[in-house]
Structure 1
Amino acid sequence: MQRHQRGYSGLQISLHWILAALVLFQLIFGESMTAVVDAAEDGLQASRADLALGSAHYWIGIAILVLVGLRIILRLTSGVPRPADSGPAWMSAAARASHILFYILLAATPILGLLAYYVGDPFGEIHSLAKPVFTLLIVLHAAAALLHHFWLKDDTLKRIFIPGV
């Protein structure tokens, strides 16, 4: 059963935006890890930039895994605001489904990345599939938030910026 609260807490909002920034970094600079792995497989040395960004990709992936664990714990213990009543029922179902998919991706992608790093393929290939899925989900998530704000004129978007709304 889902627990509901008036609005997101400051900690929940902070975790949302920290995770968003970390995922964005991973999506933009994640190819450096591929360059490092490919260079190692070919017996070559990756560039200093790729080594630095590859290392950052590794540690940020671990940070994402830890922070999403914290976010899930907070969600289970503190609850979340009730969904906006504006819009058709399918929108609420889509919102629930997209949030579940986000949590699955946020947990599974770093785990698959670690398995790819320490075990190898096929985990690397599966891990790389997360990028287009994340990208599509982020676009849909942002579009839905803007739709709620500008078309449905509810507080959905405000809730992820202002605690307690």
Structure 2
Amino acid sequence: MSTLDRYSMPQIVLHWLIAVIIIGEWISSDGMGRALHARLEGNTVWTEGATPHVWLGCIVFALILVRILLRWRQGAPTPVEESSDLMATAAKLGHLLLYALMVAVPIFGMLAWFGGIHVAGEVHETVGNALLFVALGHAAFAIWHHFIKRDGVLNRMRLSSGR
């Protein structure tokens, strides 16, 4: 079992980098349905504006795979001492769901864009919205831990090592 009190610096940097890119991806996703439809019909006019969204999605996919590898090799901090078994289990399941969604979203996006599978684009959009919802819950719980419980959980993901 891990006895870490914070994530490693590479894990922290990847966490925040992936978060920023995913937010940018969600903001830039408007019009991707039209772009995919145009691409499937051979029209390149709409697809040029979609290029950054597509390639940033591919980059996020690579980064999340690195993040999963780091988590597997370096572990994660133990639950805070005040956490109940229920809270610790909920946190583990929440993180597992976040990782699963972060892997699924770009996979379905790549299947849609590069594989020409229209239904994959619809799944990509739905799963992307689910990812945003779960990530907002993740952020809300981190803020709750920091300001209400004051248990130091948020310090585990701070870019600086200061407390």
The 1:39/1:79 distance shift into structure 2, 3 A limit, reads same
Q: C-alpha root-mean-square deviation of aligned residues, in Å? A: 2.1
Residues 33 and 51 in structure 1, CA contact (< 8 A), matched pair in contact too = no
User: Where do residues 81-100 of structure 1 align in structure 2 (5 Å cutoff)?
Assistant: 81-100=77-96
* Residue in structure 1 matched with residue 120 of structure 2 by the alignment: 123
The one-letter code matched in structure 2 to 1:129 is: T
Residues 4 and 82 in structure 1, CA contact (< 8 A), matched pair in contact too = yes
1:77 partnered with 2:90: no
Secondary structure class of the residue paired with 1:81? coil
Residues 30 and 57 in structure 1, CA contact (< 8 A), matched pair in contact too = yes
1:62 partnered with 2:58: yes
Residues 102 and 131 in structure 2, CA contact (< 8 A), matched pair in contact too = no
Structure 2: runs of 5 or more not aligned: none
Secondary structure class of the residue paired with 1:5? coil
1:13 partnered with 2:12: yes
Cα deviations by residue, 1:74-119 (Å, 9 ceiling, x for unpaired): 1111111111122433221111111101111111111111111123
1:109 partnered with 2:105: yes
Cα deviations by residue, 1:104-162 (Å, 9 ceiling, x for unpaired): 11111111111111231221111111132112112211110011111111110111014
Q: 1:43 offset after TM fit, Å?
A: 6.5
1:145 partnered with 2:136: no
Cα deviations by residue, 1:52-80 (Å, 9 ceiling, x for unpaired): 3x101111111111101100111111111
Q: Distance in 1 between matches of 2:142 and 2:135?
A: 10
The 1:122/1:115 distance shift into structure 2, 3 A limit, reads same
The 1:14/1:96 distance shift into structure 2, 3 A limit, reads same
Residues 22 and 60 in structure 1, CA contact (< 8 A), matched pair in contact too = yes
Q: Distance in 2 between matches of 1:43 and 1:115?
A: 17
User: Where do residues 1-40 of structure 1 align in structure 2 (5 Å cutoff)?
Assistant: 3-40=2-39
**Identity, % of aligned pairs?**
31
Residues 36 and 112 in structure 2, CA contact (< 8 A), matched pair in contact too = no
The one-letter code matched in structure 1 to 2:123 is: I
* Residue in structure 2 matched with residue 159 of structure 1 by the alignment: 156
- TM-score, normalised to structure 1, is 0.87
Residues 11 and 70 in structure 2, CA contact (< 8 A), matched pair in contact too = yes
